[in-house]
């Protein structure tokens, strides 16, 4: 049964946390987000979990992922 509490999957939790940080203005337009490895350590998850979260955020246009450069706030 779905709940309005915290998201179930680790990637959903990371996604929600990153969206909150973006919405609070932690990163300005065109500013680079921390590297995936750093975010994975910060949230205690695998790098692939962070990548999945960032891809969903990018699909909504909040960030752009540039291969071999990083993830940037739009």
Share of the chain above pLDDT 90, in %: 89
Which architecture does CATH list for 10-73? Orthogonal Bundle (1.10)
Single pTM value for the model: 0.88
pLDDT score for 17: 98
List all residues 6 or more positions away from 35 whose beta carbon is below 8 Å from its beta carbon.
70
Residues written for the chain: 74
Chain-centroid distance, C-alpha 23: 12
d(CA 49, CA 12): 9
pLDDT at 3 over 90: no
**Which run of H or E residues covers position 67?**
none
End-to-end CA distance of the chain: 35
**Where do the structural domains in the chain lie, given as residue ranges?**
10-73
């Amino acid at each position: 049964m779905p709940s309005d509490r915290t998201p179930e999957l680790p990637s959903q939790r990371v996604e929600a946390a990153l969206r909150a940080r973006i919405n609070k203005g932690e990163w300005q337009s065109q500013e680079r987000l921390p590297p995936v490895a750093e975010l994975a350590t910060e949230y205690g998850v695998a790098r692939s979990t962070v990548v999945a979260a960032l891809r969903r955020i990018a699909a909504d246009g909040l960030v752009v992922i540039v291969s071999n450069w990083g993830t940037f706030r739009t």
